[in-house]
Structure 1
Amino acid sequence: MTPDFTSEARSLAGDLRELRRELHRNPEVGLDLPETQRRILDALDGLPLEITLGQGLSSIIAVLRGAHPGPTVLLRGDMDALPVIESTGLDFASTNGSMHACGHDLHVSGLVGAAQLLSAHQSELSGTVAFMFQPGEEGLGGAKIMLEEGMFDTIGQKPDVAYAIHVAPGVPGTFVTKPGTIMAGANTLHVTMHGSGGHSSRPEDAVDPVRPILEFGQALQSMVTGSFSVFDPIVAQVTQLEAGKAVNVIPASAKLGASVRTLSHESTRRFPERATRLAESIAAAHGCTAEVVWTEQYPVTVNDGGEADFALRVLADSFGTERAVQVPDPLMGSEDFSFVLEQVPGAFLFFFVTPEGIDPESAATNHSPEVQFDDAHLPDQAAALASLAWERSLRE
């Protein structure tokens, strides 16, 4: 018999809200989050969990082993904040120059709640549930580091399935996901044009690298529209330009930086090939040489089709069909849970938690200093994670 996690989670509402607000007041950025780690450990104290701490980061792996054989399910919550100065005006707002502007304080609190709910039913649980508390999601690849430190060995085996829930602005209480690609891969492109410097009054005696770098920036957009399918879109946004320091000097080099978001592994592979060819041809036409550096930061986040469908069915049963919605399109943001989903089938979901009184259509978005998330939804977030793990444990 499946426990009524939705009802049971209501009794946790006060504690989860208190934990979330304590984390929100004291955000930490990056991989080293000692106070966040301490607060999580305090919240997990007394539960029948095997606790392992990270070596090169403040991660926590908490393993709950059920009384009966079954699959291993991984549930993940990221821990880190952003270097954003908060301007929400909330009475529990951060004042230390950082902010939980992406809702990771709710992710941690929801995962703690799931651990409490499932621990209360350890004697009935089939299989193993691993709770992955992860630092460094915001650009530092904390999930990859945890994998490299042997997270699966700590758990005892590679999980059979993995789930994560991410809060966002939207119609309150709604869970959304989709089969296949759910979020883009994050990549960076840096191009340097090398020429020969000189006096700005005598361009004929120099090899100007500024003109080809500007030409490349424009041509990059034409390359995207002409070389990649509209059904596998790419966002390539030039965000950095650097050349000379003095206005009357033609510099010896000029640089460009771009953020590139891709929605398939094939586009991620092809893009640097095409961009390098384009940069080199433009450079040659201007008598310059081109240096191209391509960095794949986060892979495309790809949901397993069966697990995404399963997750929506479980959440529809728990909360109603109107609150479990399959969306048609992926988001162009990126997520390092993608490293986990490269190795384990699973699903990444969004949970909309815009506070009452704020229009979801015009609400500030994740990473904004004004974004707000309603922690009144934490019991449902915890119950959703617990229900996914429990129902998945019954399938094998």
Structure 2
Amino acid sequence: MRASIEYMTGPTELPSLPDARLAGLLEEARALQPRTVALRRELHQHPELGLTLPRTQEAVVAELEGLPLEITRGTTTTSVTAVLRGGKPGPAVLLRGDMDALPLTEDTGVEFASDVPGVMHACGHDTHVAMLASAARLLSSHVEELAGSVVFMFQPGEEGHHGARHMIHEGVLDAAGTRVERALALHVHANLPSGLVTTRTGPVMAAADTFDIRVVGSGGHASMPYNAVDPIPAAAELVGALQTMVTRRIDVFDPAVVSVTRIAAGTTSNVIPESAELSGTIRTMSARTRALVHEELPKVCENVGAAHGCQVLTDIEPGYPPTVNSPEQAARVLQLAAEVLGADNVEPMPAPIMGAEDFSYVLQRVPGAFAFLGTCPSGTDPAQAAANHSNRVHYDEAALANGVAMYAAFALDALRG
């Protein structure tokens, strides 16, 4: 049994959180399970990519019909913002579910597999939408207990399209008429035991930037390299030089990952090409280390290129910033999970994940938490389960009730009367 949370200062026992409003939330969520699963499967069978998800938007609006919600559709994306106003005035809390799929061909064999060639919900966003919609239904039955408003953020374009930023620019953080004061996003994880909730204080996911490097030399005959300026040795040396930069310039306690993932040069065996190209990703956990890598990477490239007589052009494309949890809100999520789901369904994250998430834009502006919900299928070793972004990934739908209950608990706790 995991009855404590280990922080940097050591283990701290979970406090007792007696709250009559939280009792029974899991059973209420389980009662909604048929609706949750039906919506999840509808979305899974008809996935959509990017910022334009018209069918998904219509399915969400239809599922929310009849609830006491103020619903707004996005203008720059097919987002849905729904506001539930409590029985008493008070602050606003935000709950997010992302909606877009991935460009993968599904190979799961489930009866509700994707009908769209080359598109699949391989990161569980269909489950996020379904959990959030059922949480809206559950909280609507508790509206008189809410001292404030709940903003439900149904977001397109998480998979690299900055959908959260679009919704922020359209005013989702002020949709209730008052600035959101707390925020929560849950993300399913196929390699965690089903029903388990885990998160951590501080950085939980990394910033993700991309780089493109062009090494320019002078082409010639491969039998006479002294008459050319060969860009390939320079490109090859850059791979090692960038790794050395990380190990010698970056604090190991504020880490960075620089991975070269593509090298391209040449057309045939007896020609030295004029140029070579490298591309890759940069992952960092803080703004300070991110800025340092952005500064150092071009310097390394230019100087290695100069040593080989080549010109090097470097471009860094910023992606999502680090996802950083509020210490208070992350701790509160773990405490709520222990009370609502039981202590066996709570575990603190030992370390951040180097993946990236655009809920980071919300957490830059609002204290909140990003947490994972385990969904490993029954009878499968979590370490061996197909992972998120695999075209064979399966999610245990029984865990979705835990997510619905957690969303509801977070809102009820934040909006105590």
1:157/1:197 CA distance change after superposition, 3 Å: farther
Within the alignment, does 1:377 sit opposite 2:399 as a pair? yes
Amino acid at match of 2:67: L
> How far did residue 352 of structure 1 move?
0.2
Per-residue deviation, residues 143-163 of structure 1 (Å, max 9, x unmatched): 111112222343323210110
TM-score w.r.t. the length of structure 2 is 0.92
Match of 2:384 among 362, 367, 377: 362
Amino acid paired to 2:27: S
Deviation per residue, 1:291-329 (Å, 9 max, x gap): 111122111100000110111111111111221211220
**Aligned AA for 2:57?**
Q
C-alpha separation in 2, matches of 1:138 and 1:243: 29
Give, in whole Å, the separation in 1 of the partners of 2:159 and 2:75.
19
Shift of 1:375: 1.2
Cα distance in 2, alignment partners of residues 143 and 291 from structure 1? 31
Q: Secondary structure at the match of 1:260?
A: strand
Distance 2:31 2:345 in 1: 22
Amino acid at match of 1:150: G
Distance 1:141 1:17 in 2: 27
Of 211-220 and 244-253, the range deviating more from structure 2: 244-253
Q: Aligned residue for 2:91?
A: 71
CA contact (8 A) 2:145 2:412 kept: no
Greater alpha carbon shift after TM alignment, 240-249 vs 107-116: 240-249
1:117 and 2:138 equivalent?
A: yes
| In structure 2, distance between residues paired with 1:210 and 1:358 | 46
**Residue identity in the other structure for 1:82:** L
Q: Per-residue CA shift, 1:156-180, capped at 9, x if unaligned?
A: 2321011000000211111000000
Q: Distance in 2 between matches of 1:145 and 1:155?
A: 17
Residues 187 and 373, structure 2, Cα contact 8 Å, conserved in 1: yes
Pick from 253, 256, 270 the counterpart of residue 278 of structure 2: 256
What residue in structure 1 maps to residue 21 of structure 2? 2
Deviates more, 1:40-49 or 1:218-227: 218-227
1:233 deviates by 2.1
Counterpart CA distance in 2 for 1:152 and 1:167 is 24
Map of 1:245 onto structure 2: 267
Structure 1 stretches of 5 or more lacking a match?
A: none
Task: Give 1:203's aligned residue.
Answer: 225
1:284 is matched with: 306
The CA deviation at 1:374 is: 1.1
Contact 1:198 1:205 in 2 (8 A): yes
Superposition pairs of residues 181-196 of structure 1, within 5 angstroms: 181-196=203-218
Choose 119-128 or 102-111, whichever is displaced more: 119-128
Q: How many residues align?
A: 395
Aligned mate of 1:301, from 323, 336, 353: 323
Q: Which is worse superposed, 249-258 or 196-205?
A: 196-205
5+ unaligned residues in a row in structure 2: which ranges? 1-19
Q: Output the CA distance in 1 between the equivalents of 2:363 and 2:140.
A: 25
What is the rounded CA distance, in whole Å, between the counterparts of 1:42 and 1:15 in structure 2?
Answer: 12
Aligned residues of 2:174 and 2:180 also touching (Cα < 8 A): no
Whole-Å Cα distance in 2 between the matches of residues 5 and 71 of structure 1?
Answer: 22
* Amino-acid identity (%): 47
User: What is the alpha-carbon distance in structure 1 between the residues aligned to residue 72 and residue 220 of structure 2?
Assistant: 60
Aligned AA (2:35): D
Q: Which runs of 4+ in 1 moved over 4 A?
A: none
Does the Cα contact within 8 Å between 1:168 and 1:350 map onto a contact in 2?
Answer: yes
Residue type of the alignment partner of 2:68: P
2:149: which partner in 1? 128
What per-residue deviation string (whole Å, max 9, x for no partner) do you get for residues 272-306 of structure 1? 21111111111111111111111221111000001
Q: 1:80 aligns with which of 86, 100, 104?
A: 100
Q: Distance in 1 between matches of 2:406 and 2:389?
A: 24
User: For 2:47, which of 5, 9, 27 is the aligned residue?
Assistant: 27
Instruction: State whether structure 2 residue 254 is matched by structure 1 residue 232.
Output: yes
One-letter identity of the residue aligned with 1:80: D
Determine the C-alpha separation between the residues in 2 that align with 1:381 and 1:324. 13
Equivalent position SS for 2:258:
strand
- State whether residues 86 and 95 of structure 1, in contact with CA within 8 Å, keep that contact through their aligned partners in structure 2: no
One-letter amino acid matched to 2:25: F
Amino acid in structure 1 at the alignment position of 2:195: G
1:59–1:134 Cα contact (<8 Å) kept: yes
Say what the alpha-carbon RMSD is for the aligned residues: 1.3
TM-score w.r.t. the length of structure 1 is: 0.97
> What SS does the corresponding residue of 1:329 show, helix, strand or coil?
coil
Q: Cα offset for 1:129? A: 0.4
Q: 1:140 aligned to 2:161? A: yes
Conserved? CA contact 2:91–2:178, under 8 Å: no
1:320 corresponds to = 342
Asked if the contact 2:209–2:282 (Cα under 8 Å) also holds between the matched residues in 1, the reply is yes
Give matches, 1:28-177, under 5 Å: 28-96=48-116, 97-169=118-190, 170-177=192-199
Q: Secondary structure at the match of 1:155?
A: coil
Which residue pairs with 2:354 in the alignment? 332
CA distance in 2, matches of 1:272, 1:197: 30
